[in-house]
Amino acid sequence: MSLRTTLAAACAATFLSVPALADGIMIMDPYARAAGPTAKSGAAFMMIHNESGQDDRLIAARTDAAARVELHTHIESGDGIMQMVEVEEGFPVAAGEMHHMMRGGDHVMLMGLNSPLEQDATIDVTLVFENAGEVVVTIPVDNERKPEAGAHGHGAHSDHDH
């Protein structure tokens, strides 16, 4: 790897590691991924820290990278199989607390991808909060990232291709 390429990669990593912050909401460690180069859907994950003095709620998300964006979580369907479902009411983030959106749990679902989520690319996602308003986050694509300990995969989704 050339010095120029190494420096460019280091600068990009530094820029992307800076948390997004707006009206007391800080977005940390965001990343997106797809199951493969032909996947029609993907997901974005992050930590949302509410540093404001009031409770808030993530109520929507949008991006030009996909035809439709929904807030999703996983629930056990009763027979031990995890099922992904839309959470229409969004995700609460209490004042001073953190909400961890991770694989196998809460996440931003990207459906009808306009182009593949390619390793090391970025997508801009606008998160909409009930009180803080809109927070635009530049999210790096990391299809190689391993799930965190205890997280479930997206294996039991018959209606989604990721």
Q: What is the pLDDT of residues 7-66, one digit of tens each?
A: 444 444 444 444 565 679 999 999 999 878 889 999 999 999 999 999 999 999 999 999
Asked whether the beta carbons of 129 and 59 are under 8 A apart, the reply is: yes
Residue 46's identity, in one-letter code, is M
pLDDT value, residue 153: 41
Mean pLDDT along residues 120-127 = 97
Given pLDDT bands bounded at 50, 70 and 90, which one contains residue 119? very high
Long-range contacts of 46-49 (CB under 8 A, 24+ apart): 46/101, 46/137, 46/139, 47/98, 47/99, 47/100, 47/101, 48/91, 48/93, 48/98, 48/99, 48/100, 48/101, 48/127, 49/19, 49/25, 49/93, 49/97, 49/98
What distance in Å separates the CA atoms of residue 139 and residue 44, rounded to the nearest whole number? Answer: 8
Query: Helix, strand or coil for residue 12?
Result: helix
Q: What is the DSSP letter of 147?
A: P
Query: Helix, strand or coil for residue 140?
Result: strand
Residue 64's identity, in one-letter code, is D
For residue 99, which of 57, 149, 127, 63 has the smallest C-alpha distance? Answer: 57
Beta bridge partners of 126: 62, 136
Q: b/e string for 54-67 if b means 16 or more Cβ within 10 A?
A: eebbbbbbebebbe
What distance in Å separates the CA atoms of residue 132 and residue 41, rounded to the nearest whole number? Answer: 28
Greater pLDDT, 77 or 143: 143
Domain residue ranges in the chain:
20-140
User: Residue 87: pLDDT above 90?
Assistant: yes
CATH topology of domain 20-140: Immunoglobulin-like (2.60.40)
pLDDT value, residue 84: 92
User: Residue 107: pLDDT above 50?
Assistant: yes
pLDDT value, residue 131: 94
pTM of the model: 0.78
